[in-house]
Amino acid sequence: MTVVALASPSSETARLGKLAEYQILDTPPEKEFDEITQIAAKLIGAPISLVSLVDRDRHWFKARYGLNAIETPREYAFCAHAIKSDNVYVVDDATKNPLFSENPLVTGAPDIRFYAGAPLITPDNFRLGTLCVIDTQPHDGLSADAETILTLLARMVVNAMESRRLAMRAQHQARMMTQLAENIVALSQASTLADVGRMLADSARALAVADATCVHFSKGGDFVATRDGKKSPAPAEIPWQARGLFTAATAKDVTQNQGAAEKGSWMGFLIGLDKTKPIGHLQLWRQYTTTFTDLEKAMLTDLARVASAVAERLVRK
């Protein structure tokens, strides 16, 4: 069995971020996952089978067969060790294994003796949990056929998770496009630059879930809004050259790396139809996130283009 150690705390942060993308933690049981655990238990001959996801501080079960518990502390989780492996992780007799002999799940209910877990490996190589089988009696290893079965069933779990994620993303995109259309209609009817600034900041923050949003116009007054909607003075000067040269209403995504306080993603748009003479700018900041999605960039670009046209019309009045 090949064991691959998690590289660093930062890679664990990335793994947890990937797990969050699936929006599966604490969701109700789903038939597809339940059936896989039943198949695993029956084919391998174990009374318990779980689809287990390793969260930050806990070990949560999306599906469970033969066990009533829905989660356990991560510090007790066999699966927290199994996700470090490329292959099926096997414990023949937990009472004789120094890693687990004093584990409360071994010394008490559910009295684990045998454990075998196949890692749930995403297409981009993140290990989110396991499909595992458990017995209250020791086993003499796991046959090659049983390992193959568990591995194939684990891939089925990942495929089900992927299908679920893609369906949710499609629904999310449909909702976001509807919201974008409504925001664009409202923005096109703005009668003052202050209205443009307020609507642009609110819409951009809602569409991209940014930690902070700033809209600044060089003409007609400044408008700055943070996540909680409070206003503050606009910066006297924006270091455009440091941020990168923009075209009119075109996104520039910059990942900051200078110190913990600046880690995250920043995106900016010039507002105005003439990129050499912009009327103002829109900025968004998202801390601890490496990038904005393509959908977010496309929606914000459309929003900024409409704002540019409306702002030009108002300035020329």
Structure confidence at residue 189 (pLDDT): 92
Structure confidence at residue 247 (pLDDT): 33
| Phi, psi of 161, rounded to the nearest 5 degrees | -65, -40
Displacement of CA 24 from its chain's centroid (Å):
11
Q: What is the DSSP secondary-structure string of 123-135? A: TTS-EEEEEEEEE
Structure confidence at residue 218 (pLDDT): 72
Predicted TM-score (pTM) of the model is 0.65
Backbone torsion region of residue 259, taken as left when φ is above 0, otherwise alpha when ψ lies between -120 and 50, otherwise beta: left
Cβ(117)–Cβ(89) under 8 Å?
yes
Dist. CA 280–CA 197, nearest whole Å: 10
Dist. CA 192–CA 221, nearest whole Å: 11
Structure confidence at residue 284 (pLDDT): 80
State the DSSP code for 105: H
Dist. CA 60–CA 22, nearest whole Å: 14
Amino acid at 81: H
Dist. CA 309–CA 279, nearest whole Å: 11
β-strands 280-287, 264-271 pairing: antiparallel
What structural domains and CATH numbers belong to the chain? Answer: 9-167 (3.30.450.40), 189-315 (3.30.450.40)
Distances 127 to 20, 118, 195 between C-alpha atoms, Å: 13, 10, 47
Tally the C-alpha atoms within 13 A of residue 259's C-alpha that lie toward its C-beta. Answer: 2
Structure confidence at residue 263 (pLDDT): 53
Low-confidence spans in the chain with pLDDT less than 70: 1-10, 219-264, 286-291
Residue with tokens 């910059």: 254
Return the closest-CA partner of residue 164 out of 286, 49, 51: 51
